[in-house]
Amino acid sequence: MRFIVTLMPLLLVAMTAAAEPKYSKRECGTFVVVKNEGGRTIGYSPKSGIAILECDGYAFKDLNRNQRLDKYEDWRLSAEERAKDLALQLPLEYLAGLMVHSSYQLIPSEGTYGGKSFKEADVSASALDDEQYRLVRDEKVRHLLVTKVRSVYDAAEWSNNLQALCESEAFGIPANNSTNPRTAWKDRTSVWGPALSLAATFDSELVARYGEVASEELRAMGIATLLAPQVEIATEPRWMRVHETFGESSALAVDLTRAYINGFQSSYGKDTIEGAWGMKSVNAMAKHWPGSGTGEAGRDAHYAHGKYSVFPGENFEEHLLPFTEGALKLGGPTEKAASIMVAYNVLLGVMPKDEQVGAGYSYFVMDSLLRKKYGYDGVICSDWRVPNDYKAMDENKGKPWGVEHLSITERYLRMILAGNDQIGGITTKQYIEEAYRLGAKIYGEEQMRKRYEKSAERLLVIMFRMGLFDNPYLDVEQSRATVNSKSFAEEALMAQMRSVVMLKNSNGVLPLSSRAKVYIPTVNSVVSYGLAVAIEQQFDMVTNPDDADCALVFINSPKSGKGYSPEDVQQGGNGYVPISLQYGEYKAESAREVSLSGGDPMENFTNRTYRNKSVTAKNADAVDHVVEARKKMGQKPVIVCVTAKNPMVFSEIEPYADAILIDFGVQTEAVMGVAAGVIEPQGLLPLQMPKDMHTVERQKEDLPFDMECYKDADGNVYDFAYGLNWSGVIRDWRTKKYAPKR
């Protein structure tokens, strides 16, 4: 076996003793593509300074510049072999850099470029900013969370620039960029709607198709990791993250979790590299193990006031099912979610008495349960900013729940030894390195080195499987043609329409006739241009209700806050207030007199009750808009279109509506398509809609299907898996399979 070594961008030089070359090259914008016959296609940037090695006639990248073919550079070997070889070579600073998952990155950045603002620097939107250079060069970070992009072109070019910088560094480790689910037009991808809207279709095949399309679009923008799906079951209706879940049914969540992850992680045909992994795969990070949807009274563990999850129904095991029977048992070719994100919460009554800490610090949660009991060997990543400090009960910064007394370095050490391979939302490897040195003093250098190498292996395996080491570069024009293409956009809009649920349709007022004249009363502020455009695709808008055939009223579900009020503290209270699912004033007469959870270094009490306190939704005027429309329309139909993030009490608005359509975060075009009869309504409620707030207070945070549901004037009950089509209540294979047995 002989090698030909040539520094880029020089041409490869043939040697008489070498095998006949089995590859060809072509330039593609700012990078070069090398196609190996019957083998892997590789790509490199001429600016990175790496060399190409020729072995047995094939081309390989000399990423560590040692003029020999290391195992990790050999694309013929398995991802596991390559990852192990590289992990053994890496010094501490690179091991630590891999274990950082960065905070938010914007394209273009709001930071500085050469010390100047973006506007002053007069650079391309795809340029790397000073912070991104620092992360890659100084901190050795290779996992960057992208949260906003200006265009597909900018995202693809930025990714190429970032990958060239990474390739120029020692070992040539590429970037594995990540994102949260991109479901809105502003993110430039096709729009399918958030998880709860997908759940409303009750259709695993549709969800898998979403994963296939979205993964292709994300890879075309240089993103290879998705911080999703959020698979917790939403058994607590007041929780602020209900809309990011697949609803409250564990059976539905299991099936949709499998479909979602299989869709994202699987590549096919020429795009495959190893098994079903490949160039169109996106690493799915299922979250938040072992579930965080049971915060007492709906409070969330992003905040100290919501750090505790409670299980009054002793139903912890059901909350594991979307993970253990879904994410860890895909029934598809990639077998399991490649990574798992751990929750923030302290699980009362579940964790050992001597380990009342946030899940991200818990040996029980990560080592005993996830690693040992369920045999998971993939990447474990903490949620964001877990080891940092916090200064107020309602501050969304650090989450050192139960370990507030430890130093920052000690918190990092505990997180890593308990099971985290990666720490989310940080911008420096400093404390990961300090934790290593502290651990070496306590447990010995050998043990800490092995621990860090193991995390590196797990992280690197994912990158090798997705082809990032061999060719991380993007054809920008191909990216433009792929992302939000006409066919993808059409599929996405149809999926959105299929998720809309028709709750009420008295006297068959829907569908509306073609070009019906509709009156839109003032909602929230003024009818926006975008809303008007969406409506006028199907109907004619009129400004006088006397000229209208019907009224369309657009409202959002009630928004009453997160369950904590600094103003209440200032007035001598404990700070805890109700979270209401109704618009009008709600007095919590049925709330617990003594809370199930409590305790924080900033508080001198443990009873977090809010009994007899009152709250009114910030958007309580939604009721006024519905009532106003009813008065103005007389006997003409009033159609209410609700966008919901949570279950809600319908008693305040349903009596005034002839028809109600509810969506869970889709575009107005989709709702109007259903109203116009473009498709027959198909959506089903993925959540119960409560009769009133008293039933909400009486339900148990960890139990599904334990609320008395609202019954409307037509006698229909807004229960889980309920929905109407033109003929009446939908009863099909979905309701038979998923509706709770009463």
State pLDDT tens for residues 725-739. 999 999 999 999 999
- pLDDT for position 8: 39
- C-alpha span between 17 and 14 (Å, rounded): 9
Confidence band for 526, pLDDT divided at 50, 70 and 90: very low
376 lies in a domain?
yes
**290 & 378 share domain:** yes
Q: What is the pLDDT of residues 591-614, one digit of tens each?
A: 999 999 999 999 999 999 999 999
Residues of the domain holding 14: 4-76
Mean pLDDT score of the chain: 94
The candidate with the shortest Cα–Cα distance to 20, out of 56, 62, 74, is: 56
Confidence band for 742, pLDDT divided at 50, 70 and 90: confident
**455 & 515 share domain:** no
| E strand or H helix at 130 | helix 130-137
- pLDDT for position 301: 98
Q: What is the pLDDT of residues 86-136, one digit of tens each?
A: 999 999 999 999 999 999 999 999 999 999 999 999 999 999 999 999 999
169 lies in a domain?
yes
Query: Mind giving me the DSSP string for 531-565?
Result: HHHHHHTTSEEES-GGG-SEEEEEEE-----SSB-
Q: What is the pLDDT of residues 328-350, one digit of tens each?
A: 999 999 999 999 999 999 999 99
589 lies in a domain?
no
pLDDT over 70 at 391, yes or no:
yes
Return the number of other C-beta atoms located less than 10 Å from residue 551's C-beta: 24
pLDDT over 90 at 145, yes or no:
yes
Asked whether 82 and 470 are in contact (CB, 8 A), the reply is no
pLDDT over 50 at 362, yes or no:
yes
Instruction: Map tokens 């994102």 to a residue.
Output: 179
Provide CB contacts within 8 A for 271, sequence distance 6+: 278, 279, 280
- pLDDT for position 3: 36
- pLDDT for position 527: 55
pLDDT over 70 at 475, yes or no:
yes
Q: Is the dihedral of CA 245, 247, 253, 258 positive or negative?
A: negative
**323 & 457 share domain:** yes
- pLDDT for position 533: 86
Q: What is the pLDDT of residues 548-565, one digit of tens each?
A: 999 999 999 999 999 999
pLDDT over 90 at 6, yes or no:
no
Residue that finishes a domain, picked among 13, 43, 76? 76
**235 & 171 share domain:** yes
The candidate with the shortest Cα–Cα distance to 273, out of 462, 50, 482, 56, is: 462
578 lies in a domain?
no
Q: How many domains does the chain have?
A: 3
Q: Which residue has the higher pLDDT, 1 or 407?
A: 407
pLDDT over 70 at 523, yes or no:
no
**61 & 107 share domain:** no
Q: What is the pLDDT of residues 491-502, one digit of tens each?
A: 999 999 999 999
- On the question of a cis peptide bond just before residue 108, with omega within 30 degrees of 0, the verdict is yes
**243 & 310 share domain:** yes
**122 & 228 share domain:** yes
> Whole-angstrom distance between the N-terminal and C-terminal Cα of the chain?
71
The candidate with the shortest Cα–Cα distance to 303, out of 392, 237, 180, is: 392
Q: Is the dihedral of CA 457, 460, 466, 470 positive or negative?
A: negative
Confidence band for 19, pLDDT divided at 50, 70 and 90: confident
The pair of three-digit structure tokens given for residue 15, joined into one six-digit string:
């040697």
Confidence band for 74, pLDDT divided at 50, 70 and 90: very high
**512 & 405 share domain:** no
Q: Write the CATH number for 532.
A: 3.40.50.1700
Q: Write the CATH number for 412.
A: 3.20.20.300
**Bridge-based pairing state of the strands 422-424 and 379-384:** parallel
Helix, strand, or coil (residue 483): coil
Average pLDDT over residues 47-52: 93
82 lies in a domain?
no
**318 & 421 share domain:** yes
pLDDT over 90 at 182, yes or no:
no
- pLDDT for position 143: 98
pLDDT over 80 at 10, yes or no:
no
pLDDT over 80 at 187, yes or no:
no
DSSP3 helix / strand / coil % (the chain, rounded to 5): 35, 15, 50
- pLDDT for position 317: 98
563 lies in a domain?
no
Share of the chain above pLDDT 70, in %: 96
496 lies in a domain?
no
**414 & 373 share domain:** yes
- pLDDT for position 53: 96
Average pLDDT over residues 148-171: 96
**193 & 234 share domain:** yes
Paired residues of 286 in beta bridges: 340
**475 & 397 share domain:** yes
Confidence band for 13, pLDDT divided at 50, 70 and 90: very low
pLDDT over 80 at 711, yes or no:
yes
- pLDDT for position 407: 98
572 lies in a domain?
no
